[in-house]
Structure 1
Amino acid sequence: MTSQPIRLLLVDDHKIVLESLSLLLSTDSGFEIVGMVSSGKQALQFLKENEVDILITDLKMPGMTGIELCLKARKEFPSLKILILTMVDDPVQIREAIAAGTTGYILKNADRAELCFAISTLGSGKKFFSEHVVFGLADTLKQDRGSEIPDKISKLTTRELEVLHLIAREFSTSEIATKLFISLPTAESHRRDLIQKLGVKGTVGLVLYAVKHHIV
């Protein structure tokens, strides 16, 4: 049985960007461009009338910013995946986008392979933040909080440190289980324990924590 292509809505206030993105992504049979609009308002209207899996939007747009669009879209369409595609690499705005509910963040200087991988990752139910974005956030955290190693790390077991290291290197739970010769439920249990012990929110939080404290 052939899987259905991922339905994409493209949002950018520059027509040439929309056309270029459409041409770029249309070459992948796993994607279907169901709409192209130039504003957040148009995007929300389109979402009310059409089935969309992933919304790909710029961050800086007149009238309604990408963050404002994200907040409104997530409220009205909770299952919608949102990928921010922008030139903005400011950590403060990236944090705001994450807080608004975006499920992915990638810069416009990314190549086609990374963009397609990001879309496919979101389509599979996971989140994607480019390496540049993650490391940029981690550097900011270092500056904000200093470089001291908290007691939380010293309380992790050797196995938990191994799992954290692999998570930071973007290994999936199943890949971690295989590499460490443990069961899938055990690997997932370690992931949950790490989130609780380190006081972070989800996998992105674990990655940022690992990068900040040089566990990668």
Structure 2
Amino acid sequence: MTAAPEAPGPVRIVVADDQEVVRAGFSALLGTQSDLRVVATAGDGAAAVGACREHRPDVVLMDVRMPAMDGIEATRRITARSGAPRVLMLTTFDLDEHVYDALVAGASGFLLKDVTAERLFEAVRVVAAGEALLAPTVTRRLIGEFARLRPRPPSASLEVLTPRETDVLRLVAEGLTNAEIAARLVVGEETVKTHVSRVLRKLGLRDRVQAVVAAYETGLVLPRQAR
């Protein structure tokens, strides 16, 4: 008799913020959900890195500004490790100038600190499942703005991509969903998903957010193209 597969355990979370009230508030909210569990909290970036090594969480809620080591450097160190958790940045403003740096460092998206409880739960679950948090149009607006203000030299080459994969990456960066890309290229949505997966694998990217960053940094999509 074949044993039934084990049910997946709760999403393991580390909350990193230099304000105790914020750490406590997010931890209390997350604790109300049976499928979410806070395994550690941290008051600065260095402590967040240590907590991730010790507790191996699935998701980190990471404040951008913290003493000792800021959230951007902590994110860079955390996501550089094999089997790294997904990182959601916490910020006060939706166009915080540090958010772009955080996404480049390896974050999978960002949340405003005044996020509603339901949005918080949804965001953690989405990122834990391996998806990018932000809608493509929001991601494009955010990254496009800061790529325009603070252009960076290319950090990756797109030569490894096929022409069709390059087309798909361009459309992802322009804010189209998989369904919209499928309609534009006259292919099936599953075909688009396959192309997106290949782009991520070939470029060594973690998720769709990082693909948008790469498209801007390589000049495949220019900020002025954003409509």
TM-score by length of 2: 0.66
Aligned to 2:22: 17
CA distance in 2, matches of 1:58, 1:186: 34
Identity of aligned residues (%): 22
Q: CA deviation at 1:63?
A: 1.0
**Structure 2, unaligned stretches of length 5 or more?**
1-5, 152-162, 204-208
Count the aligned residue pairs: 196
Deviation per CA, 1:15-74: give whole Å up to 9, x if none: 111111011111222211111121222222222222211111101011110011111212
Equivalent of residue 46 in structure 1, options 39, 43, 51 = 51
CA distance in 2, matches of 1:72, 1:143: 26
Decide whether aligned partners of structure 1 residues 90 and 2 sit closer, same or farther in structure 2, where only a CA change above 3 A counts: same
- Aligned letter for 1:168? G
Aligned to 1:57: 62
CA distance in 2, matches of 1:42, 1:138: 32
Decide whether aligned partners of structure 1 residues 168 and 205 sit closer, same or farther in structure 2, where only a CA change above 3 A counts: farther
- Aligned letter for 2:194? E
TM-score by length of 1: 0.69
> Which runs of structure 2 are paired with 1:183-202 in the superposition (5 Å)?
184-185=190-191, 188-189=194-195, 202=211
Q: Is the 8 A contact 2:16 2:63 kept in 1?
A: yes
CA distance in 2, matches of 1:191, 1:32: 29
Q: What is the root-mean-square deviation in Å for CA atoms of aligned residues? A: 4.0
Equivalent of residue 98 in structure 1, options 103, 114, 139 = 103
Q: Is the 8 A contact 1:5 1:32 kept in 2?
A: yes
CA distance in 2, matches of 1:11, 1:94: 16
- Aligned letter for 2:211? G
More helix by share: 1
Q: Is the 8 A contact 2:16 2:45 kept in 1?
A: yes
